[in-house]
Structure 1
Amino acid sequence: MGSLDDVTKAAKDFIEDNKDKIDDALKSEQAEGVSDSVLDSVADLAKKVTGGKFDEHIDGAREAADGAVGNE
C-alpha cells in the first residue's frame, strides 16, 4: 500500500491527465440537473434554518455555485 503522498500524487496526475474530460463532465446537462437539485435543496434548508433573514444572500450564493457547475 502506498503512502498518502503517493495517493495524492496519483490523484493529481489523474486530474491533470483527464482535465478536459472532467471539465466536459462538469459542464454536461446531467451535471446541470444534479447540481440544480442539490443547490435548491441546500438553499431551501439554509433559508429554513435562518428563518428567511438571509434569503437574498443565500440566493446569490446559490446562483454563484450554479454558475460553476453544469452548462447553464
Structure 2
Amino acid sequence: MAMMDKIKQMLKGHEGQASKGVDKAGNMADDKTHGKHSGRIDSAQDKMKDQFGGDQDKGNR
C-alpha cells in the first residue's frame, strides 16, 4: 500500500481536521516566507485538500 493510501485511510472520517491542519501548516509556511510564496502555498493547500478530501470549506479562506 502506498504512503498516500495509508494517510487517506487514517484520515477517513476526519476530513475537517485534516483541512484545518493543512490550513495551519500553509499559514505557518506563508508567515515564515513573509508572504513571498503565498500563491504557491495556496495552490499546494488546495491540492492537499483535494487529495485528502478536506475541501468542503474551500471558499472560506
Do both share a fold (TM > 0.5)?
A: yes
Q: Residues of 2 paired with 1:42 and 1:71: CA distance?
A: 14
Structure 2 gap segments, 5+ residues each: 56-61
Structure 1 runs of 4+ with >6 Å offset: none
Q: Which has the larger radius of gyration?
A: 1
1:59 matched to 2:42? The reply is: yes
Query: TM-score, length-normalised on structure 1?
Result: 0.57
Residues 33 and 57 of structure 1: is their aligned pair in 2 closer, same or farther, counting only changes over 3 Å? Answer: same
Residues 35 and 71 of structure 1: is their aligned pair in 2 closer, same or farther, counting only changes over 3 Å? Answer: closer
The residue that corresponds to 2:59 in the other structure is none
The residue that corresponds to 1:47 in the other structure is 30
Of residues 19, 22, 35, the one that matches 2:18 is 35
Of residues 46, 52, 57, the one that matches 1:69 is 52
Q: Which has the higher helix share?
A: 1
Percent of aligned pairs with the same residue?
24
Query: TM-score, length-normalised on structure 2?
Result: 0.66
Q: Residues of 1 paired with 2:19 and 2:32: CA distance?
A: 20
Tell me, yes or no, if the aligned pair for 1:31 and 1:69 is still in contact at 8 Å. Answer: no
The residue that corresponds to 1:8 in the other structure is none
